[in-house]
Chain A
Amino acid sequence: MTSSEPNPLPVLLRGGRPLGGPATDLLLDEGAIAAIGADATSRAGAEVIEVVEADGLVILPGLVDLHTHLREPGREDAETVETGTRAAARGGFTAVHAMANTDPVADTAGVVEQVRRLGQEAGYCDVQPVGAVTVGLQGQRLAEMGAMADSAARVRIFSDDGHCVSDAVLMRRALEYVKAFDGVVAQHAQEPRLTEGAQMNEGPLSGMLGMRGWPAVAEEAIIARDALLAAHVGSRLHVCHVSTAGSVELLRWAKGKGWAITAEVTPHHLLLTDELAATYDPVYKVNPPLRSAADVDALRAGLADGTIDAVATDHAPHPREDKECEWAAAAFGMLGLETALSVVHQSMVDTGLLDWAGVADRMSFRPARIGQLATHGRPLAVGEPANLVLYDAAVSEVVRPQDSASLSRNTPYAGRTLPGRVVATYLRGRCSTAVETVPA
């Protein structure tokens, strides 16, 4: 399947509930939402089209992930652009931001263009490459961010994710430099000296388990510093995978000042806690680490009130051997694309913290705005791109790792029952999920 193929037929989505509201019909044609409501129904009667019974399904704008590790080039044993974007489509995403920590690192125009092209060839969802801030993620010299911005990949988000841009001068320069092309630096906030050899959240449990702690202050100190730096030079800052209650407070403070700061939280930090480390099963090993229940509550509240702008998966595939070992030897990271919407459903919707419009805002509208994607995160309105997801909020399913489209199996939700199921995802009017999962 490639995106250059023309869509065979217009599609009528019958009886779906846009943003969880009243049921209506949507007509998708030529990559756009062509009609809504009675108009869509009547036009469907007049033309030969494909009809999809979406009775009662929630319709959301196609989800946008700000933080995806697609692993290609370099670690095609863990994931490829094709398998990763297929997993993304199955999770309801129509656009993902591919992180720069590949091999070679996405620190040149050549690499980001290659990643973008691989995304186009696969066709499951739009792949927007993220460029590295520093050459080789080494934290020494700025990468050619201007060249990446001007390239066909049109890079706007720059991140050394996996590493913190810990040098204050380098961070200041990066924040200043990207202003020339309206870029944003996405910081992986982790003070390196405070987290040397760190394995899990530092707290009562790390002491009991004899594991080196990753203290909250190591994240919070960097967020505070970067907020001040960004304000000082008048630039935009985005904070990756916020994980602590203190970080939420700092973001609230910085936003209160009117500074241009945005932040994301991962689904796993909204649901899981550091108690899981007591199993010593490295499927729960992730960076930043799973935190306390109080942190989870603060993150949920921060996402609900908009202090945290977006949910971003930090989808991090790893081959089996990197997780089938003792904790300290295992790689950091978990899968996230296919379960993100269900986890947000459970942690935010079932708890009454967000309605479906709120979910659309945090998983589509706002991340698209942060990433400056013109054709994603658009309202469900006539004339808008037909990027959307049909979601059955009434069912619940047990997560089975072997069912994943990812090449990897490191999901922390294996065996857990999560609410909801993505029924189909549409990218520019074309169903990007497996045909057999779409109701006829």
Chain B
Amino acid sequence: MRRHLLSAGDLSREDAVLVLDTAEEMRSLADRPIKKLPALRGRTVVNLFFEDSTRTRISFEAAAKRLSADVINFAAKGSSVSKGESLKDTALTLQAMGADAIVVRHHSSGAPHRLASAQWTHGSVINAGDGTHEHPTQALLDAFTMRRHLGDLEGRRVTIVGDVLHSRVARSNALLLSTLGAEVTLVGPPTLLPVGVASWPVHTSYDLDSSIVKSDAVMMLRVQRERMNESFFPSAREYSRRYGLDTRRMALLPDHTLVLHPGPMNRGMEISADVADSTRSVIVEQVSNGVAVRMAVLYLLLSGSNVPIETPVGES
């Protein structure tokens, strides 16, 4: 493994499989009476969040604590750097505090790269979502969830639907899933597929119905209603009709097909309540798998891939 996790594209297939296999071991821990491992005892993990995301922060916090790391939550306020402390000064502060890993969520694409490459800090940097760029641990937990249900993802067909243009989840998933051998199709209105998407290792389509009938998994992306004010689509109703996953469309899916959503959902917009709560939906499972995957990432980055996972505290 590398020292940082900045992009899902940085992971080789071998790296990715190692993370998923390690996460599997971490997950089995959840079934044991004592859920803590001593692996990162004495190490400090900082959750540096420039953008609110309670879900992601709690997931990383739980992961670090189950590995016995010390956790510092650092919420940097203010929507722009000019109003608050600069990224550089924050990094220098965290360096002084002895951060071994910095989990960073930032509204600006590339901020974690900057943190990792500018020599302001020596810790490992983990991208917990940067602007409209990437969210690699989300992609890892999505792949982990799919793999549990579908087995090896080689040759599996995954359809990712919605606002690809603004989605860091879509970018990371497109990269990771193609690394793992899956066949990815991005579906959305042409306004919400980035210029140059033809050069990505994916297929694209503007038509949801024809894409989902061949899918092993369908991932619905969150779509903000406000996008219609910027003319990305005419109305929430039209969006929902053309690209939402409702009961009618769910009936088109093969029996084994999974439905995923990175959350938070806009029920009634990109996904109907019936679908979200259906038996195909693995949305709640994605959340619990998130902790295991983040444990694996922290463990592999901070303790080195050669160290075996130690036995849980108190178990002999």
Contact = CB atoms under 8 A, between A and B. Distances in A.
Interface of A: 199, 202-211, 213, 215, 279-281, 321, 324-329
A204 to B, nearest CB: 3
A208 B82 contact: no
B142 interface: no
A327 B118 contact: no
A328 B114 contact: no
B281 to A, nearest CB: 27
Contacts of A281: 114, 117
A329 B106 CA distance: 12
B196 A210 contact: no
Contact of B87 (A209, A215, A326): A326
A211 B80 CA distance: 16
B86 interface: yes
Nearest to B167: A210
Contact of B86 (A204, A215, A325): A325
B195 A324 contact: no
Interface of B: 80-82, 86-88, 106-111, 113-114, 117-118, 130-134, 165, 168, 171, 194-200
A325 B81 contact: yes
Nearest to B88: A324
B168 A326 contact: no
Contacts of B131: 210-211, 328
| 8 A-B pairs closest in CB distance | A204-B196, A207-B194, A210-B133, A280-B110, A210-B132, A210-B109, A328-B108, A204-B199
8 contacts: A206-B196, A210-B171, A211-B131, A213-B195, A215-B195, A325-B88, A326-B110, A329-B80
A210 B199 CA distance: 14
A199 B107 CA distance: 14
Given A205-B196, A213-B195, A327 B117 contact: no
Nearest to A328: B108
Residue among A205, A208, A327, A328 having the largest count of chain B Cβ atoms under 10 Å = A208
A203 B131 CA distance: 18
Contacts of B199: 204
A203 B196 contact: yes
Contact of A329 (B82, B113, B194): B82
Contact of A207 (B106, B107, B113, B196): B196
Contacts of A207: 165, 194-197, 200
Contacts of B109: 199, 209-211, 280, 327-328
A270 B133 CA distance: 28
A12 B7 CA distance: 60
A216 to B, nearest CB: 11
Given A207-B194, A208-B194, A326-B108, 5 more contacts: A206-B194, A210-B131, A210-B134, A280-B109, A327-B110
B196 A329 contact: no
